[in-house]
Amino acid sequence: MDPLSSLLSGIRAEGSVVSHAVLTAPWSITFADAAPLTMVNVLRGGGTLLLSDGTERAIRAGDTAIVRGPAPFRLADEPATVHRPHTAYEINCFAADAVCTGQELDGIHWGTGPHGATALIVGAYRASGHRHERLLRALPPVLVISEDAEVCAWLENVAADAARLSAGSQALMDRLLDWALVCTLRTWFDRAGADAPGWYRGLADPVLAPALHAFHGRPAESWTVASLAARAGVSRALFARRFTELMGRPPLAYLTECRMDEAETLLADTDLSIAQIARTVGYADAFGFSAAFKRHKGRSPSTVRTAAA
């Protein structure tokens, strides 16, 4: 599994909050779910994202915005609206004792009617465990990608079909949002260039990609710089130099970092023993793994497991 697929496996639109909103100004939506990621597709019209740190980001028709959680944020037709009388909506469905609220909120389709000036598809993503945290660290507080009109028309048609609450509508929208999240993130990483995380840049490099796929596919194997260079089909020296230049760290430092990140996730999210986790991430025994983990993370494996529990 490549790194992006692995990180995305920890965050899904399974049973997500999904709304197809058709709105007439003035309006605002408060996102109070503390969701790890929230995606907003603007099909028609537009508005302004108002983040908790004071950031304002205008989005318009054709834009897909992904907001990194868990801080609450707002979307309004314009920033001044939140201080004036307007129609206010709220999404707050993930908490155990929460009730989805908002004026005229009615299942999956809500708003002031089919002739509203702004149409949105909104999805909030749930997290299963801690794997998604590495993905969040690679993202800015908000990212925006523009799509063409044909994609927006197709999305609106699918959302309208799901809004009829026919059989399978939730599953349909969940899969649609999962697909849209992957496509949006891949597009953003492609356009980010040097700002994209090293593991993503490496996957696009013809020399490094074979070695990275081999390592991430079999992290428990006893990889060395020489064996990874052989996968890449280049000399050990060339591989090490190119890896360090592109990834920002030497190959073995990257391998150790990935193994420790994976071990941290397994400690927090599974009941595997420390010895089993050690073997999963390429260590022959629990003692050597525990020493390496504490050196890299500053905490022992047992401390991480206790804190997660």
DSSP alpha helix (H) spans, 138-235:
149-163, 169-192, 198-203, 208-217, 225-232
Do 225 and 240 meet the contact criterion of CB atoms below 8 Å apart?
A: yes
pTM of the full predicted structure?
0.76
Which amino acid makes up residue 209? A
Q: What is the pLDDT of residue 129?
A: 67
Does the bond joining 141 to the residue before it have cis omega, within 30 degrees of 0? no
Query: What's the CA gap between 168 and 179, in Å, rounded?
Result: 17
> Which of 213, 108, 246, 245 is closest to 171 using CA atoms?
108
Residue position matching structure tokens 């969940």: 174
pLDDT in tens, 38-53: 988 888 889 999 999 9
pLDDT in tens, 70-118: 899 999 999 999 999 998 888 776 655 554 443 333 333 444 455 557 8
Q: What is the pLDDT of residue 102?
A: 38
Query: What's the CA gap between 267 and 299, in Å, rounded?
Result: 12
Q: Which structure tokens are listed for 132?
A: 């998604």
Q: Residue 18 phi/psi, 5° resolution?
A: -130, 130
